[in-house]
Amino acid sequence: MAAGSVRIDNPKAKEGFFRDLSSVEGAAFAVDQVGQWVVVMFVVESERGLKRSVAQTRRLAGVSEMEPCIPFHCPPTTMVPGSRDWQVLEALRTHPTAAVSECAGSIGMSSKAFARRCNALIADKAVWSIPRLDFGRYRGATVARFLIWLDSKVETQRVLNRLEETFPSFILLEDQSDIPDTDSRPMKLLSIFLQLSSTAEIEDVERSIRDVPGVVAAEVYFPRQNYVYDDWFVERIHSRIRMRA
């Protein structure tokens, strides 16, 4: 995968941008944030392919600027899916909210066999579940994402433990330290999503984060909505199923 930020100066152009991004090669996810910036993520098969994706994105209507798109490593799977596993993945993608019995029936499997294969895929990190979240639907709450940079000498797990203790109701806490900076050196970077009662809490939370030993900087962003583009995944799943038919 690779991620970068796109600046869209005209708020009216955002809707068209998210629609048009679906036509960009390798587009996988996007996060609309309050303000001008949008986070975009691509599936990377080659350096040339990433350059092509970035060039196509820069040409989309409404794009004022695009920062460098930085590759990062996804959690590696510990298995090689077989033909039935690819069918299970397709059933999950096609019926994401259906009962196990409906998913199993769509590919001619029993519910027990389907559940067993599905659980194995999850345990072996061969399947992701990415929600299409609309943070604008929250009422009486503010969702904020904090990016947290650490001192290169600090133990990352110690900071993660401290953040878990300080914010036990966090939505998502991630270690993104594999992402390199502009000089291709790894950064110690954490990301935490918090649901707060009001925007007035933001400053207090940021102060608490900066007070954690080992934290050198923090920035806050307000996500509006997640977008998911599955064309790349659909093509690869169908290809694997045909190869094993």
Question: 3-class DSSP state for residue 6?
Answer: strand
Q: Is 2-73's fold the same as 135-224's? A: yes
* Residue 182 binned pLDDT confidence (cut-offs 50, 70, 90): very low
Among residues 12, 69, 10, the alpha carbon closest in space to that of 39 is found at: 69
pLDDT at 183: 52
CATH number of 2-73: 3.30.70.260
Summarize the confidence of residues 185-196 as an average pLDDT.
83
- pLDDT digit string, tens, across residues 20-79: 999 999 999 999 999 999 999 999 899 999 999 999 999 999 999 999 888 877 778 888
Ranges of each domain in the chain: 2-73, 83-130+233-243, 135-224
**Cα 213 to Cα 37: distance, rounded to the nearest angstrom:** 30
**pLDDT score of 178 more than 80:** no
What is the model's pLDDT at position 62?
95
- What does pLDDT average to over the chain? 89
Q: Locate all alpha helices (DSSP H) within 124-168, ordered by sequence.
A: 156-166
Sorting pLDDT into bands at 50, 70 and 90, what band is 12? very high
One of 2.160.20, 1.10.10, 1.10.3210, 1.10.3470 is the CATH number of 83-130+233-243, namely 1.10.10
What pTM did the predictor assign? 0.77
User: Distance between CA atoms of 97 and 132, rounded to whole angstroms?
Assistant: 12
State the CATH architecture for 135-224.
2-Layer Sandwich (3.30)
pLDDT at residue 157 in the model:
93
pLDDT tens per residue, range 115-168: 999 999 999 988 877 777 888 777 777 889 999 999 988 999 999 999 999 999
Three-class secondary structure of residue 150 per DSSP: strand
- What is the rounded end-to-end Cα distance, in angstroms, of the chain? 29
Look up residue 123 and give its two tokens.
């345990």
